[in-house]
Structure 1
Amino acid sequence: MARIARSPARRAAARPPEPDLRSIFRRRTEALIERLADQASDETIAAALEAPSDVGGLARLLSDMAPLGIELQSVDPLAEAIARGAEAKQELLRDAGGGWSSTRVAAHLKMTRQGVDKRRRAGKLLALQSGHGDYLYPVCQFTDDGVIAGIDRFLAACPPSGGWTRLDVLLTPAEEIGGISPLDALRRGDAEAAVLVASMFGEQGGPADADE
């Protein structure tokens, strides 16, 4: 018996529809927020509302729940650690003056986005992975007309680590260079001091993560 060929349109219609991941995630997140709001105290909710952003507020709510004796295991065994990490990253980015997209950096440096990507891969720009699949570039590494001198030497001296770790080192005051941060040293034209701190970071047992 001859087989009846199906048209491409009929074959497509026979396949089950792909799940709407955004809708699923939205429903799951709404349920999580309702559960957190029901369990948290008024003081915890008030503290979360003081955060400067909605993401920061949720992160603060999660991180404050464990000390209050509220069980986070029902939410996620890693929820508190993830929340603290998210809040710390937000604070770090604020201290860095915010983050620019690849398009914004390209306009500032008067080059293409491909040129920006090339400089990032070459270790000449500090970049942070964003949840949009693009990179964020901390504003503190830029000057009015380019990039702060010596940032490439600082990045090259850092041990293998992610962008967030390198930004933390860049912004943190170091006793070895008189209590200023490597960023301040670069702004003063002292790249050697910044390189010194970067090279010592791995020796002091700093994390070598892959969070770029």
Structure 2
Amino acid sequence: MPDDVLALDPLAGPMPRAIAHRREICEAAGERPSSGQLEELLGISRQGIDKRRRASRVLGIRTVPDGICPALQFLDGQVPALLGDRLRAHAGDDPWHVLDALMARHGTFGGRSLLDLAREEGRSGAPSRS
């Protein structure tokens, strides 16, 4: 990018990269069920889903035209306990940053992500606290 463009608009470089990164996150997150599908999956109303999202018990990402709640956060219609704890710990944080952090692979976890660990814990029979 030419230096004169960056001088006029310092965000001319970072903004396109941020948009591209959000697209990558969405693609990596996989399925994004509709509101109706979420109601069926969780067995609660849209208002109940919004209430959980506002309480940081479900991760909701604002997109155009609709918000999304990535399906990868649910296991058997529940949010695994470890993931619920992480969501509450990040209450008030930008949901895009939370999703990015949850999906990031860490050497400390043997190349797995916090999301992987939460899903493994959920599969092992640990109780859900969603």
TM above 0.5: yes
Q: Does 1:79 align with 2:17?
A: no
3-state SS of 1:187 partner: helix
Q: Aligned to 1:181, which of 98, 113, 116?
A: 113
Q: Does 1:97 align with 2:34?
A: no
Q: RCO higher in 1 or 2 (8 Å CA, sep ≥ 6)? A: 2
The structure with the largest alpha-carbon Rg is 1
Cα–Cα, structure 1 residues 175 and 157, in superposed 2: closer, same or farther, change >3 Å? farther
| RMSD, aligned α-carbons | 2.5
* 1:6-21 equivalence runs, <5 A: none
Amino acid at match of 2:21: A
**Structure 1 portions without partners, runs of 5+:** 1-65, 191-212
Q: Aligned to 2:87, which of 137, 146, 155?
A: 155
**Structure 2 portions without partners, runs of 5+:** 123-130
The answer to whether the 8 Å contact 1:101/1:135 transfers is: no
Amino acid at match of 1:111: I
Corresponding position of 2:39? 106
Corresponding position of 1:122? 55
Corresponding position of 1:146? 77
1:159 Cα deviation from its structure 2 partner: 6.6
The percentage of counterpart residues that share the same residue type is: 32
Cα–Cα, structure 1 residues 103 and 81, in superposed 2: closer, same or farther, change >3 Å? farther
Amino acid at match of 1:131: V
Amino acid at match of 2:40: A
Amino acid at match of 2:19: A
Q: Does 1:168 align with 2:100?
A: yes
* 1:62-77 equivalence runs, <5 A: 66=1, 69=2, 72=5, 77=10
Spell out, residue by residue over 1:75-100, the C-alpha distance to the aligned partner (whole angstroms, 9 max, x if none). Answer: 95523321111110010111111423
Please give the alpha-carbon distance, in whole angstroms, between the structure 1 residues aligned to 2:56 and 2:35.
Answer: 15
The answer to whether the 8 Å contact 1:149/1:186 transfers is: yes
Instruction: Please report the TM-score for the alignment, with normalisation by the length of structure 2.
Output: 0.77
The answer to whether the 8 Å contact 2:39/2:45 transfers is: yes
Spell out, residue by residue over 1:24-64, the C-alpha distance to the aligned partner (whole angstroms, 9 max, x if none). Answer: xxxxxxxxxxxxxxxxxxxxxxxxxxxxxxxxxxxxxxxxx
1:189 Cα deviation from its structure 2 partner: 0.5
Q: How many residues align?
A: 121
Corresponding position of 1:194? none
Please give the alpha-carbon distance, in whole angstroms, between the structure 1 residues aligned to 2:40 and 2:70.
Answer: 15
